[in-house]
Structure 1
Amino acid sequence: MAETRDRALEAAIALVGEQGIRALTHARVDERAGLPKGSTSNWFRTRGALIAGLAAWLAESERADFTADDASSIQTPAQLVDALSGVIALQTGPLALRTKTRYALFLECAGDTELLGPLLEQRRVFVEWTVALLVGIGARSPREAARALMATGDGLILHRVTVDPDAEIRPVVERAVRAALD
């Protein structure tokens, strides 16, 4: 049964990532997932429930990917540049649909902290990870530096998934990490 739910959620990510949040309907998810009609509504009765389920599942998926990385190996600015460049390349390449879905959900749920909760928690975890790494490489104001570094990364990610998929990553990240250490 959970396999059906996962197929529905994967299909929902693809739909939203390709066509935007308005494409998210139970019928379209069923069709995209190759499920019998009504399958998605068995798991998520309303569109709001489907959006909430998608946000929670997306955050869970990203957290699983995130914790799989070994952050303890990042001890120098160059290693941080490598790690952040790799994350951005992944989010704007193989995981671009998931990234577009995350942004669409942030915009759709902007006034609803309950719906945004799982995504905000995932972001908080990533902020804390970034702060810890910046402390480890000697940033003077790691919290402020993390905010600037993440804003730069978000801007670059958004630019790559919407305007210029071939925009260079590493030079931007190198500048941002250098600035974080000042």
Structure 2
Amino acid sequence: MSTPPAPPVPPALAAPASPRAALIADTAIALIAERGLRGLTHRAVDEAAGLPTGSTSNHARTRAALLAAALTRIAEREHADFRPLQEENPPLELLLEVTATGVHQALTDGLPLTLARLELALEATRRPELRTVYDRLGAGFRALAARLLARAGSAEPERDARGFVRWCEGVIFDSAAGAGHGHIPTPAELRAEAARYLAVLLGEPRS
């Protein structure tokens, strides 16, 4: 089986247009994580970021645009955790290590980012325009997972990527906001669980 070509990084994952754009998006993320979506307003972002009144409105004129900017920035920052996996022919060990490290980061130092993303995921179920952004960004991560799993020996990398992303998202939700929030798995626990999951995923017979 030939190795699939490297998936292009979605345009939305490009660097922000300016430091101010990044500051506005990062501040919006922090407010969502702290106060929920009800606490996110253009004025609140200006005040929390120490910017002149109207700065956020100039960057994102509508609430929908502000939500999209925050979601895109979350994807940029999360994507950075997986850049080492884009090396040529990464071994399965590297996939396991970076996955465990990335998930643990999402549940510890990166928890505010995770909580903001979960808030936006729920909001996307009610806002078609945000759903489009969320799905487009998610497709970029699944494409990367499919590429790596193909190199790890998957016969159906796209199918396996969907399953692997679901596993990661399930662990993150359970530990960040679900019934398992009282226990944050260690990197070693996450690595062992991912190894067991991938062993089944890559070795199971296809119907």
- Note whether the superposition's TM-score is higher than 0.5: yes
Pairing partner for 1:124 from 132, 136, 139 = 139
TM-superposition CA deviations, 1:90-111 (whole Å, max 9, x none): 2222222222212211110224
Contact 2:90–2:148 (CA under 8 A) maintained in structure 1? yes
Aligned-residue Cα RMSD (Å) equals: 2.3
Distance 1:90 1:15 in 2: 20
Determine which of 93, 109, 124 is the counterpart of 1:109.
124
> Is structure 2 residue 113 aligned with structure 1 residue 95?
no
Partner of 2:20: 4
Question: 1:67 Cα shift?
Answer: 6.4
Tell which deviates more after alignment, 146-155 or 159-168. Answer: 159-168
Is the Cα contact below 8 Å between 2:33 and 2:115 reproduced in 1? yes
Q: Deviations over 1:150-178 (max 9, x none)?
A: 11110111122221352242232122111
Q: Is the 8 A contact 2:149 2:161 kept in 1?
A: yes
The equivalent of 1:49 in structure 2 is: 65
Matched, 1:19 2:35: yes
Determine the structure 1 residue equivalent to 2:3.
none
Scaled by the length of structure 2, the TM-score of the pair is: 0.75
The C-alpha deviation readout for 1:111-167, integer Å capped at 9, x for no partner, is 444323333222112111111211211123322222221111101111222213522
Structure 2 SS opposite 1:164 = coil
Alpha-carbon distance in 1 for matches of 2:123, 2:55: 24
Residue 61 of structure 2: SS of its match in structure 1? coil
Equivalent residue number for residue 86 of structure 1: 101
Q: 1:158 aligns with which of 173, 194, 197?
A: 173
1:176 lines up with 2:197 in the alignment: yes
Contact 1:92 1:165 in 2 (8 A): no
What is the TM-score when the length of structure 1 is the normalising length? 0.84
Q: Deviations over 1:15-60 (max 9, x none)?
A: 1122222211112211211222332122222222211222233334
Q: Identity rate of aligned residues, in percent?
A: 28
In structure 1, how many angstroms separate the alpha carbons of the residues matched to 2:84 and 2:47?
34
Change (3 A) 1:69 1:118: farther
Contact (CA 8 Å) 2:124, 2:134: kept in 1 or not? no
- The answer as to whether partners of 2:26 and 2:73 remain within 8 angstroms in 1 is no
- Kindly indicate whether the alpha-carbon contact (under 8 Å) linking 2:85 and 2:95 is maintained by their aligned counterparts in 1: no
Do the aligned partners of 1:55 and 1:116 also contact (CA within 8 Å) in 2?
A: no
Other structure's SS at 1:69 match: helix
